Homo-oligomer: A and B are copies of this chain.
Amino acid sequence: MTARIDDIVCPVPATPDQVLLAHGGGGRMMRRLIEELIVPALGDDPLLRPLHDGAVVTVEGTRLAFTTDSYVVRPLIFPGGDIAQLAVNGTVNDLAMCGARPLVLSIGLIVEEGLPMDLLRRLMESLGRAAAAAGVRIVTGDTKVVDRGKGDGLFINTAGVGVVVAPHPVEPAGVRPGDAVLLSGDIGRHGVAIMASRDGLAFETTIESDCAPLAEPVLRLLEAGVEVHCLRDLTRGGLGAALVEIAKTAGRRIEVEESAIPVRPDVQAACELLGLEPLYVANEGRFVAFVAPGEAERALSLLRSHPLGEQAARIGEVGGEGTDVVMTGPLGTARVIDLPSGEQLPRIC
């Protein structure tokens, strides 16, 4: 691999001998850890290789989507949500991003000794409500307790199974030249909400996480027969990382217009104060959809007909061969977007 400028200026060695916090951040270090160590060690299953939000497995003729995520967000409760709601919506959204209708979830709790029982009850109730709101059933679970000082209150793993409704594979490799890139709404709220609550910052308005289940707006597209080539929710690493990952996997250049990307003024102001770039800030209720060029207007109308897609916008399109994501600014200057090296915010989800 040729050295790149950001490898040279990066203060962290390319292959450190210990796992660093930055390896969990959704950036380049994480991609390397997964691609160069974890996937090869696990045996390089072709289903694991696409590094998509989930896997599609055919069982007795039925195409199932299957996915998992662990949630380690700090604090456990934040403006607009909590770890339990995040654990449900995150996995529901990963299933939706595979073009599937989410059906059932499992839940694995790792509780640190000393967690107040009332807090556990409150979070479990939130989990139940979030599942009901997303239309999924929690059907199996597991509880482990670790010694004080060996956990951090509560970690939650959820895995989920859904039925694929998209007729063709919905995945980065499905992206084609000319595809329209649609964004479902404004970006940056989840990360800013977490960061502000962690640092005890108060802005003029409380910025709440956008945490929400995305299956309904996605199914609205799929059930209307829109030709959707790829979907991706904008969690760790934000819109920037999602576009870079898709461009690299698809082997296609992606061109986006900065001015088309909605960012709320209060989120923009908070990002400036916190030294964050909204493009890389995590969201928990936003996604991009790559659709066939002739379908863009119909897809936008369908998205805008759902409360979670009211601000949906066409932000760009797919170009020819390549792996660059090029963003054109309001003054017409273009810059290449890359993965952040580590992460802007640790333990955001």
- A108 at interface, CB cutoff 8 A: yes
The answer to whether A43 and B346 touch (CB under 8 A), given A24-B143, A110-B70, A144-B70, is: no
Q: How many copies of this chain are found per oligomer?
A: 2
A19 in complex: contacting residue of B17, B69, B120, CB < 8 Å: B120
The answer to whether A108 and B62 touch (CB under 8 A), given A21-B145, A113-B20, is: no
Binary contact track A9-30/B, C-beta < 8 Å → 1, others 0: 0000001111111111100001
- A121 at interface, CB cutoff 8 A: yes
A146 to B112, CA, bound (A): 14
A140 to B38, CA, bound (A): 12
A15 to B108, CA, bound (A): 22
Chain A contact-residue range equals 35 or more
Binary contact track A48-62/B, C-beta < 8 Å → 1, others 0: 100000110101111
A18 to B33, CA, bound (A): 37
- A308 at interface, CB cutoff 8 A: no
The answer to whether A19 and B117 touch (CB under 8 A), given A127-B42, A132-B43, A143-B24, is: yes
A155 in complex: contacting residue of B20, B115, B121, B155, CB < 8 Å: B155
The answer to whether A20 and B145 touch (CB under 8 A), given A66-B106, A66-B161, A67-B140, is: yes
- Within 8 Å CB of A276, what residues of B? none
- A37 at interface, CB cutoff 8 A: yes
CB pair B18 A131 closer than 8 Å: no
